[in-house]
Amino acid sequence: MQTTNENISYGGRQLVLTHDSEACKCEMKFSVFLPPQAETKPCPVLYYLSGLTCSHANVTEKGEFRRAAAEHGIIIVCPDTSPRGEGVADEDVYFFGSGAGFYVDATEAPFSENYNMYSYVTKELPALIAKEFNADMSRQSITGHSMGGHGAMVCALNNPDTYKSVSAFAPICAPSGTDWGNNAFTKYLGSDENIWRSYDTVALIEDGNKVPEIFVDQGTSDEFLETGIRVNLLEAACKEKGIKLTLRMQEGYDHSYYFISSFMADHIAWHAKRLG
Instruction: Please report, as ranges, the residues that interact with a copy of itself according to CB under 8 A.
Output: 7-11, 14, 61-62, 64, 66-67, 219, 221, 251-254, 256-259, 261-262, 265
d(CA 229, CA 223): 9
- Nearest-angstrom CA–CA distance, 140 and 274: 10
Shortest CB 216 distance to a copy of itself, Å: 18
Residue closer to a copy of itself (CB basis): 163 or 263 = 263
**Rounded to 5°, angle at Cα 155 from 191 and 130:** 135
Contact criterion met (CB below 8 Å) for 148 and 104: no
Indicate which residue of 72, 145, 150, 255 is catalytic: 255
- By C-beta, is 67 or 197 nearer to a copy of itself? 67
Smallest separation (angstroms) from a copy of itself to the CB of 136:
25
Query: CA-CA distance, 51 to 54, in Å (whole number)?
Result: 6
Tell me, yes or no, if 222 is annotated catalytic: yes
Nearer to a copy of itself, 69 or 142 (CB): 69
- Check: CB of residue 52 under 8 Å from CB of residue 88: no
Nearest distance in Å: CB 246, a copy of itself: 19
Active-site residue, 146 included: yes
**DSSP E strands: which ranges in 10-65?**
12-21, 26-34, 43-49
The one catalytic residue in 21, 50, 98, 146 is: 146
Nearer to a copy of itself, 40 or 194 (CB): 40
Angstrom distance (rounded) from CA 45 to CA 129: 9
To the query of whether residue 72 is one of the catalytic residues in this protein, the response is no
Tell the smallest beta-carbon distance from residue 222 to a copy of itself (Å): 11
Active site (catalytic) residues: 146, 222, 255
